[in-house]
């Protein structure tokens, strides 16, 4: 009998090869490998750059936080210093205000010795002064401050005639211690002259002479005493003038 011996390998198409055993292998392209090396280098370099940048950023943040803390501390110190300065300024302002108030009161002083001497220098020969009194300041309208806080004076006495009273008021209006526009005659009337003391003789046949009884009112001048130094010196007010000059030298009162 005949046996069949078939060789299937010979019947395969040309070019087919027997599959290799052991799994599929990755084939690298042949040629220039520089791009691959660059990619690997970039893959390693970029994370390193990011890490260094992050580290530098953290260090910078730490420095900034420390700087902010220092600035906060400095700001608190400056706030305290500013508060102390404002407190000192307030105290200085208060002292200046009190000093100015004291100077204002001091500058409004009108020594009676100087005023009386001024009146004696101005009184006519035919006029006699019986009394001089100071009048309080008048209140302002609707609760406003008094227009003349220094007050005024009232002079009463006798004069030989009405003309003598008019002469007296004219001379008073020239006084720097009084306000000229507010010096005026309030009353002026004829009265019998007072008899001399101890004269109790027969006066029925001889009528007594008549004189003018007057009342004059005026307001004290608001000119500062520092502006009346020469006038005060003429009237012999040495103590007040010395104190004013001393305050002018220290700058409390302007020259």
DSSP annotation of 220 reads B
CA–CA gap between residue 191 and residue 159 (Å, rounded): 10
3-state secondary structure of 16: coil
CA–CA gap between residue 244 and residue 252 (Å, rounded): 9
Tens of pLDDT, residue by residue, the chain (255 residues):
445 455 544 555 554 555 555 555 555 555 566 777 667 666 666 677 777 778 888 888 888 888 888 888 888 889 889 999 999 988 888 887 877 777 777 677 778 888 888 988 899 999 999 999 988 876 655 555 555 666 789 999 999 999 999 999 999 999 988 998 899 999 999 999 887 665 555 555 677 889 999 999 999 888 888 888 888 888 888 888 888 888 778 776 776
Tokens standing for residue 254: 């302007």
Task: Find the DSSP H helices in the chain.
Answer: 34-107, 112-122, 162-172, 229-234, 238-250
Model pLDDT, residue 112? 85
Model pLDDT, residue 1? 46
Of 137, 109, 71, 92, the residue nearest 227 (C-alpha): 109
Model pLDDT, residue 221? 87
Q: Who's near 174: CB < 8 A, 6+ residues apart?
A: 122, 180
Are the C-beta atoms of 192 and 206 separated by less than 8 Å?
no
pTM above 0.85, yes or no: no
> Domain 112-136+149-193+209-250 is in which class?
alpha beta
């Amino acid at each position: 009998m005949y046996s069949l011996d078939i060789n299937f390998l010979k019947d395969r198409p040309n070019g087919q090869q027997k599959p290799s055993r052991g799994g599929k292998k990755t084939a690298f392209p042949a040629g220039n490998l520089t791009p691959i090396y660059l990619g690997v280098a970039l893959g390693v370099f970029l994370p390193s750059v990011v890490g260094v940048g992050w580290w530098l950023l953290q260090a910078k943040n730490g420095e900034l936080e420390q700087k902010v803390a220092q600035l906060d501390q400095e700001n608190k110190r400056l706030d305290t210093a500013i508060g102390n300065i404002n407190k000192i300024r307030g105290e200085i302002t208060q002292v200046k205000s009190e000093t100015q108030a004291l100077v204002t009161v001091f500058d409004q002083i009108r020594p009676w010795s100087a005023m009386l001497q001024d009146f004696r220098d101005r009184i006519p020969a035919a006029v006699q002064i019986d009394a001089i009194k100071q009048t309080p300041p008048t209140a302002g309208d609707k609760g406003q401050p008094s227009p003349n806080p220094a007050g005024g004076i009232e002079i009463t006495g006798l004069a030989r005639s009405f003309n003598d009273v008019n002469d007296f008021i004219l001379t008073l209006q020239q006084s720097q211690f009084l306000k000229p526009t507010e010096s005026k005659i309030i009353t002026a009337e004829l009265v019998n002259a007072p008899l001399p003391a101890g004269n109790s003789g027969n006066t029925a046949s001889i009528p007594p002479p008549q004189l003018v009884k007057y009342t004059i009112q005026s307001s004290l001048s608001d000119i500062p005493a520092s502006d009346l130094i020469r006038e005060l010196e003429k009237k012999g007010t040495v103590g007040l003038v010395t104190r004013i000059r001393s305050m002018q030298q220290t700058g409390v009162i302007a020259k």
